[in-house]
Amino acid sequence: MAQITLKNLAHSYLPNPTSEKDYALKEMDHVWQDGGAYALLGSSGCGKTTLLNIISGLLRPSHGRVLFGDLDVTDAATAERNIAQVFQFPVVYDTMSVRDNLAFPLRNRGMDPAYIKARVDHIAQMIGMEAMLSRKAQGLTADAKQKISLGRGMVREDVNAILFDEPLTVIDPHMKWELRTQLKQLHREFGHTMIYVTHDQTEALTFADKVVIMYDGRVVQMGTPEELFETPAHSFVGYFIGSPGMNFLEAQVEGDRATLSDGTVIALGADYAAVAGQIGIRPEYVSLGDEGLALTIRRIEDVGRHRLIRGEVLGKPLNVVLPEGVAVPASPRVSFAPQRINVYANDWRVAPRSPAERAA
Amino acid sequence: MEKTQNNRAWFLVIPVLILVAFSAVIPLMTVVNYAFNDTFGSNDFFWAGLEWFDEMIHSERLHGALGRQVMFSAIILAIEVPLGIFVALNMPKKGFWASFCLVLMALPLLIPFNVVGTIWQIFGRVDIGLLGRGLAALGINYNYTNNPIDAWATVIVMDVWHWTSLVALLCYAGLQSIPEAYYQAARIDQASRWSVFRYIELPKMKGVLLIAILLRFMDSFMIYTEPFVVTGGGPGNSTTFLSIDLVKMAVGQFDLGPAAAFSLMYFLVILLVSWVFYTVMTNMDKEAK
């Protein structure tokens, strides 16, 4: 097991990349702590799978280095890296029995048969397939096959990391929950570094200690679910995490005040250097009442525990989460909790000034 | 509701019936007719019963031809199937060279049989052929017209040249259908090259490979034109396969009765083997489910 370091890493699928646009992965420095459970979250095509394949060695990065611990493995083959990877679609060896499928990675490494048997039985129990061990893998359902793939990924104890590339896409919702819980348990038990790629935020937030958000070939933020929710580092994180995503309004920020396009002044919870950008506020922290900005309501969705109000403020869409039992006023106005407002310039979050900076 | 009964609809089947009758049933029945009768060519038939079959089953000439035929099919299958797989595995997967290889591989398949025969007939000639002269210059005593082994070698190499492409192209199609993730998973699992072939590529190729084997078996078992053009069945009888022998008997010697009995048995053998193949294939599919 080892800490995985990506140094000045970048990748382009083109032979001669010229502009930044040609890169599937933009240059990045990133460290995956040993034993961490990470979720790699982002929309389709943002470079998640590319990054994963670079770590596992299926792909050689066009720039930069990959280090396991202190060892440079950029040019090492997949087999030497001792990594397990589970793919989006089930990969099973059809002609083998379920048992042989699970034992395959161990046998290829010449492990002791008694150990293999014990290990396979343990994994089979974990994925709930003890009854099917001697069956042929061919003709099993997609989720049974994917469970075998997962099992094959977890069967080796000594791996440096286990990478999951959207492994639960084909599995039905109930089983998804179950398997995710098992993965977490496995993580606690063995402490493998796990990187879990997904585009489903619930999956990411429930699985991981640290969530890494990728956008357009870049890691835009790494943090705990709470950090991602409260202080998104990039407007994409604001949009992507939470449902619905963060609201953004154009604003001129100076000190602890933001001036909107119509001149309305909004109080901020911290002090900022002068900047023209946006303020971002979660729909959960917008309250509906008789004071503040006039809201034009477009639609109200009842989602059970609360209601979602989709409307417009100053011509920009704005969503409000309304707790149960609160009535919608006749001429609704919205106000924001100052502490919960974040400021963005060019899509990146602007950190508040510390008192020292303010003095200077 | 009462169903409309209109039996005139059966008339619509007539065109197909006529077509099949003239293209298959009547010619076949003519052969059957010859097989059970003796005739002297003037449409006078004398009932012969199973006499011709009896004669043919015990004919050493037929046994010889059948033996050579089985050996020929076995040898070309033993060469073409592994070679075809090997070629398919080594063909580029995409890009310009993939298309180039495909066209190149398809070329021999487009050449008419008798042209293939003529090409090799001339190619192998000791007096003017490139292969014949070349081997002679290397000091190898090669002459397919009077050495049975040379004749066999020529006929087999010719068939391999002509038909390995078919096996290769079918296998290539099978290989192309394997998603990249399988190879990636194999690398993660540290599978050897042999394991990748044995557990990923071969199972995915199995279906097309069986079809390739069936096609190659049937074609080689019925082969006529190419060896006939090259060796004419010689030297002696050494490359006289079933078809060549049959034509000699029916057209050359005009022994219509024995030839008809011969061809019926020939037909039944091919039918039987194809049926066995088909059954094995469908059973394999069933097992899968």
* 8 Å CB contact between B180 and A88: no
Do A165 and A251 belong together in one domain?
no
Residue A332 maps to a domain = yes
Check pLDDT > 50 for residue B229. Answer: yes
Of the candidates B182, B188, B289, the beta carbon closest to that of A84 is on: B188
Share of chain A above pLDDT 70, in %: 99
pLDDT at B286 over 70: no
A 72-131 residues with CB < 8 A to B: 77-79, 83-85, 87-89, 91, 93-96, 104-105, 108-109
> Contact A207/A183 with Cβ under 8 angstroms?
yes
Element (H, E) at A301: strand A296-302
- CB–CB of B248/B233 below 8 Å? yes
Instruction: Look at A83 and B188 and tell me if their CB atoms are within 8 Å.
Output: yes
**Ordered structural domains, chain B, with CATH:** 7-47 (no CATH), 59-288 (1.10.3720.10)
Does residue A253 sit in the same domain as residue A235?
no
Residue of chain B minimizing CA distance to A138: B288
Q: What is the ipTM of this complex?
A: 0.74
- CATH (domain of A80): 3.40.50.300
Q: Are residues A231 and A300 in the same domain?
A: no
Give the distance from residue B190's alpha carbon to the nearest chain A alpha carbon, in angstroms.
5
Hey, CA dihedral for B249, B251, B253, B254, is it positive or negative? positive
Tokens of A52: 């994963």
Q: Name the band, by pLDDT with cuts 50, 70 and 90, for residue B164.
A: very high
Q: Does B182 touch chain A (CB under 8 A)?
A: yes
Structural domain count of chain A: 2
Nearest-CB residue to B203 (from A56, A57, A95):
A95
Q: Identify whether A105 is part of a domain.
A: yes
Average pLDDT for chain B? 86
Probe site for chain B from A58, A83, A149, A170 (most B CB atoms < 10 A)? A58
Q: Extract long-range pairs of A242-246: CB within 8 Å, 24+ residues apart.
A: A242/A201, A242/A282, A242/A283, A242/A284, A243/A201, A244/A283, A244/A308, A244/A310, A244/A319, A246/A280, A246/A281, A246/A282, A246/A283, A246/A342
Contact A87 B181 (CB under 8 A): yes
Among A239, A264, A282, the domain-final residue is A239
- Tell me: pLDDT of B31 over 90: no
Domain assignment present for residue A18? The answer is: no
Q: How far apart are CA A248 and CA A280, in angstroms?
A: 4
Three-state SS at A175? helix
Instruction: With cut-offs at 50, 70 and 90, classify the pLDDT of residue A74.
Output: confident
Average pLDDT estimate for A228-237? 88
For residue A317, being part of any structural domain is answered with yes
Interchain contact B197–A (C-beta under 8 A): no
Pairing of strands A83-86, A4-11: unpaired
Asked if the C-beta of A160 comes within 8 angstroms of chain B's C-beta atoms, the answer is no
Cα separation, B185 vs A167, in Å, equals 13
Instruction: Report residue B287's pLDDT band, with 50, 70 and 90 as the boundaries.
Output: low
Mutate to test the interface with B, among A56, A92, A93, A111 (most CBs of B within 10 A): A93
Mean per-residue pLDDT for A49-74? Answer: 84
* A206 and A253, same domain (yes or no): no
Using an 8 Å CB-CB cutoff, list chain B residues near A85.
184-185, 188
The shortest C-alpha distance from A106 to chain B (Å) reads: 8
Q: Which residues of A touch B188 (CB under 8 A)?
A: 56, 58, 78, 83-85, 105, 153
A244-278 pLDDT, tens digit each: 889 898 888 888 888 888 888 888 888 888 888 88
Distance from the Cα of A89 to chain B's closest Cα (Å) equals: 8
Cβ-Cβ contacts under 8 Å, A80 against chain B? none
Distance, in angstroms, between B233 CA and closest chain A CA?
A: 44
Nearest chain B residue to A105 by CA distance is: B189
Tens of pLDDT, residues B87-113: 999 988 888 898 999 999 999 999 998
Q: Are residues A92 and A220 in the same domain?
A: yes
Asked if the Cβ–Cβ distance from B182 to A105 is below 8 Å, we say no
Q: Which residues of B touch A78 (CB under 8 A)?
A: 184, 187-188, 190
User: What percentage of chain B has pLDDT greater than the value 90?
Assistant: 22
The reply to whether A17 falls in a domain is: no
The predicted structure's pLDDT at residue A260:
85
Cβ contacts (< 8 Å) between B190 and chain A: which residues? 78-79, 105, 108-109
Residue of B nearest to A103 (CA): B189
CA–CA gap between residue A109 and residue A86 (Å, rounded): 18
In B, which residues are within 8 Å of A104 by CB distance? 189, 191, 199
Domain span at residue A355 reads 245-359
Q: In this structure, are A231 and A264 located in the same domain?
A: no
Q: How confident is the model at residue B163 (pLDDT cuts 50, 70, 90)?
A: very high
pLDDT of B267 > 60? The answer is: yes
A197 contacts in chain B (CB < 8 Å) = none
What mean pLDDT do residues B189-217 have?
Answer: 87
A62 close contact with B: CB closer than 8 A: no
Mean pLDDT, all residues of chain A: 84
Residues above pLDDT 70, as percent of chain B: 97
Task: Provide mean pLDDT across the span A75-89.
Answer: 83
Residues sharing a CB contact under 8 Å with residue A243, sequence separation 6 or more, in sequence order: A201
Give yes or no for residue A358 having a pLDDT over 80.
no
Q: Number of CB pairs < 8 Å for A and B?
A: 55
Domain boundary among A221, A239, A257: A239
Residue A235 has pLDDT above 70, yes or no: yes
Q: Is residue A79 part of a domain?
A: yes
What is the structure's pLDDT at B80?
93
Asked if residue A3 lies in contact with residue A31, where contact means CB atoms within 8 angstroms, the answer is yes
How large is the average pLDDT for residues A38-61?
Answer: 84
Give kind and range of the element (H or E) at residue A260: strand A247-260
Residue A1, pLDDT above cutoff 70: no
Same structural domain for residues A174 and A203? yes
pLDDT tens track for B61-93: 888 888 899 999 999 999 999 999 999 999 888
Rounded to a whole number, what is the distance in angstroms from the first to the last CA of chain B?
Answer: 41
Could you tell me if A297 and A217 lie in one domain? Answer: no
Question: Domain end: A239, A274, A290, which one?
Answer: A239
Q: Is A19 inside a domain boundary? A: no
> Mind telling me how many Å the CA of B198 is from chain A's nearest CA?
9
Is pLDDT of B117 > 80?
A: yes
d(CA A252, CA A246): 18
- Based on the fold, state whether residues A96 and A136 are members of the same structural domain: yes
In a shared domain, residues A229 and A329: no
Nearest Cα residue in chain A from B189: A105
DSSP one-letter code for A82: T
Q: Does the N-terminal peptide bond of residue B235 adopt cis geometry, omega within 30 degrees of 0?
A: yes
The CATH number covering residue A279 comes to 2.40.50.140
B200 at interface of A, judged by CB pairs closer than 8 A: yes
Task: Tell me, yes or no, whether A300 and A230 share the same domain.
Answer: no
pLDDT of residue A112: 87
Q: What is the pLDDT of residues A134-168, one digit of tens each?
A: 888 888 888 888 888 888 888 888 888 888 888 88
- Is residue A219 domain-shared with residue A341, that is, in the same domain? no
User: B288 pLDDT exceeds 70?
Assistant: no
* Of A87, A95, A109, Cβ closest to residue B199: A95
Averaged pLDDT for residues A45-65:
84
State the maximum Cα–Cα separation within chain A, in Å, rounded to a whole number.
76
pTM to 2 decimals? Answer: 0.74
Q: Is residue A34 part of a domain?
A: yes
Question: Would you say residue A325 has pLDDT above 80?
Answer: no
